[in-house]
Amino acid sequence: MNTYELMLIVNPQISEVEIGEVVEKSKKILADGKIEVLAEDRLGRKKFAHAVKKNRDGFYVYMKVKAVPETLKAAKHNFSLQDHILRSMFIKAGAETVKKA
């Protein structure tokens, strides 16, 4: 299993409660794919350099996860099907990032 960093950008036009529900649903998607969540950080609302799906800002959620590489494709596909998730991206965590966690 490898360690990855996951960044989700959630639609900023939903309420804080709905953002929490989106994060919990995302964690369930990860758990269903046998992806373990090691850490989570809600970074808040940030402005984009250019519009993404007609939005000028988004709510950022960072997660550190542990997964087998083959499971990431299915999780990314499931995130793309969610209405309130504007973008998602997995990045393999480098050795220096893994040690700090």
**For residues 58 and 19, what is the distance between their CA atoms, to the nearest angstrom?**
11
Q: Which residues contact residue 28 at a Cβ distance below 8 angstroms, ignoring those fewer than 6 apart? A: none
Is residue 51 pLDDT above 80, yes or no?
Answer: yes
Is residue 97 pLDDT above 70, yes or no?
Answer: no
**Domains of the chain: which residue ranges?**
2-60+71-88
Q: pLDDT tens digits for 63-74?
A: 999 999 889 999
Q: What sign results for the dihedral spanned by CA atoms 13, 43, 30, 51?
A: positive
Number of helical H runs and strand E runs in the chain: 3, 4
Write out the two tokens for 69: 């590489």
Q: Which residues contact residue 90 at a Cβ distance below 8 angstroms, ignoring those fewer than 6 apart? A: 4, 5, 6, 65, 72, 75, 76
CATH 3.30.70.60 fits 2-60+71-88, yes or no: yes
Residue 54 has a pLDDT of 87
Is residue 98 pLDDT above 70, yes or no?
Answer: no
